[in-house]
Amino acid sequence: MTSKVYDFSAIDIKGQSVALSSFKGKVLLIVNTASKCGLTPQYEGLEKLYKEKNGQGLEILGFPCNQFAGQEPGDSDGIGQFCQLNYGVTFQMFEKVKVNGDDAHDLFKFLRAEAKGLLGSEKIKWNFTKFLINQDGTVLKRYAPTDKPEKIAKDIEKLLA
């Protein structure tokens, strides 16, 4: 049975396969994102957090998803350009994935099972749900879509200390 985030791989926004084991020893914040969502401005806070903490060992992994009200309709090129142009995103972005359902990406099936949501639900409720993973690949916590990156910073700082 898979027990660590490092057992997965995903296709990045440029079409290259990325083994998550390449992030061993880092604190990870994995986020399902969308470009046309009321929460899209969180890209700004995520990028700020990434710039402040990347040198200390934080990696942010963004996974666009179109499962919530069709709020990520673009292709990888369009998504990448949007993130760069509007929010200066430099953290790792991946190809669009599904986060719920039988055809969800295996990484998100794992994350949902490891860090359940409200009332024990595994289903991801909306864009910008965030998962915090420690340096050994263990999923520690799920954050609600409305939890701003600034709020999560304290938990990340504790892991980086």
d(CA 41, CA 55): 23
C-alpha dihedral over 154, 99, 16, 55, to 10 degrees?
0
128 token code pair: 């910008």
Residue 94 has what DSSP assignment? B
Residue 12 has what DSSP assignment? B
Question: Which pairing describes strands 27-33 and 58-64: parallel, antiparallel, or unpaired?
Answer: parallel
Other beta carbons less than 10 A from residue 154's beta carbon: 8
Distance of CA 31 to the CA centre of its chain: 2
Catalytic residue among 37, 46, 83, 152: 37
Contact 4, 138 (CB under 8 A): yes
Q: Active-site residue 65, yes or no?
A: no
Helix (H) or strand (E) holding 112: helix 106-114
Give the active site residues.
Answer: 37
